[in-house]
Amino acid sequence: MRSRFRSDRRLTVRMGLTLFLLGLLYVGFVAALIVLLKSWVLVAVLIGALFVAQFWFSDRIAMFAMRGRVVEREEYPGLHAVVDRLCAIADLPKPVVAVSELDMPNAFATGRSAEHAVVCVTTGLLRRLEPAELEGVLAHELSHVRHKDVAVITVASFLGVLAGLVVRFAFYSQAFGAGRRDQNTAAVFAAVLGVSVAVYAISFLLIRSLSRYRELAADRAAAQLTGRPSALAAALTKVSGEIARIPTKDLRTAQAFNAFYFTPATGREPGIERFFSTHPTLEQRLEQLSRISAELGEPATPGKAG
């Protein structure tokens, strides 16, 4: 294995640019809400409360939604051993280790910082992967923690969540109170709705673009850290194939958290919708890993870990 995760300057620049653009959008959105709603106190309180809830409790929300639970070393000694080894090599504080009782093979990392991170794998993943493949997946997830892109995605997605909530509120308000509103109030709600939709669309595209790049960056970092990109490629191929066999209707609950997954719960490779996907295509990821494998002079087929 290599020493530590390599820094990724291109990822850092992209994260900074995305946050800068979203910050400008955020300031404009808040200003528009204050002007339209004529109450900066209400806007500040609501936005502050939502931000705190998403940023500080994002890990708990994700764990609850995916039925994850913290597991101790006595229960999953092999899983803890792999995480311990990778963290020692990468010079990372050990995250909380969790397992989700889902048959869908996948993994995710969440948390606002390296000191408050959670790495969670599903029982479906543990059951299907060889040790070397599992190591590659865990290295991928730990790289998200090291690069701090989990926290960046959490912060960046807040604006989209806020705009989406405003859109829903505006729709419900119009539906249930249209008969009691005058023309001026209706115009204000229409303006709020229009601004919110525009903000949601722009933030959606910015976050998706960053998300696709961060997955490629995590693949690179994991492959370089473990020195076995073909093991990670094998895990990607296996997990994507298994998810593709799961009916789409059974994946819908999990799809809300696609941005955090090792492989998206889409059930198929995207077509035109790849431009709106949280992940690059499987072909892109495998091509990159093949190039890294050639650079490292790795054998085509990884040996099985004991």
For the chain, which residues make up each domain, given as ranges? 9-176+185-296
pLDDT (tens digit per residue) in 275-286: 678 899 999 999
pLDDT of amino acid 162: 66
215 is in an annotated binding site: yes
Record the tokens describing residue 98, joined without a space: 């969790």
The rounded distance, in Å, linking the Cα atoms of 231 and 144 is 18
> What is the C-alpha separation between 163 and 91, in angstroms, rounded?
38
What average pLDDT does the segment 36-56 reach?
72
User: What distance in Å separates the CA atoms of residue 83 and residue 74, rounded to the nearest whole number?
Assistant: 14
Q: Are 278 and 264 in contact (CB under 8 A)?
A: yes
Q: Which of 6-20, 218-232, 292-306 has the highest mean pLDDT?
A: 218-232
Q: Rounded to an integer, what distance in angstroms lies between the CA atom of residue 262 and that of residue 177?
A: 43
Q: Decide: helix, strand or coil at residue 228.
A: coil
Q: What is the pLDDT of residues 62-86, one digit of tens each?
A: 777 778 899 999 999 999 999 999 9
Higher-pLDDT residue of 137 and 46 is 137
Taking only the tens place, the pLDDT of each residue in 178-194 is 544 556 666 766 776 77
| β 68-70/96-100 pair status | antiparallel
Would you say residue 134 has pLDDT above 90?
yes
Q: What is the pLDDT of residues 257-271, one digit of tens each?
A: 777 889 988 755 555
Distance CA 114, CA 107 (A): 17
133, 135, 141, 298: which is the annotated catalytic residue? 141
For residue range 87-119, list pLDDT tens digits in order.
Answer: 999 999 999 999 999 889 999 998 878 888 899
Task: Give the integer Cα–Cα distance in Å for 206 and 159.
Answer: 11
Mean pLDDT score, 143-155? 86
Q: How confident is the model at residue 228 (pLDDT cuts 50, 70, 90)?
A: very high
Short-list 264, 282, 276, CA closest to 104: 264
Closest CA to 273 of 291, 295, 255, 286: 255
**Whether the Cβ atoms of residue 196 and residue 167 lie closer than 8 Å to each other:** yes
DSSP per residue, 161-194: HHHHHHHHHHHHHHHHHGGG--HHHHHHHHHHHH
Q: Does 141 participate in catalysis according to the annotation?
A: yes
Give percent above pLDDT 70 in the chain: 79
- Say whether 140 counts as a known binding-site residue: yes
Helical H runs in the chain?
Answer: 9-37, 40-65, 77-90, 123-128, 131-147, 149-177, 183-226, 229-244, 248-255, 282-296
Q: Rounded mean pLDDT of the chain?
A: 81
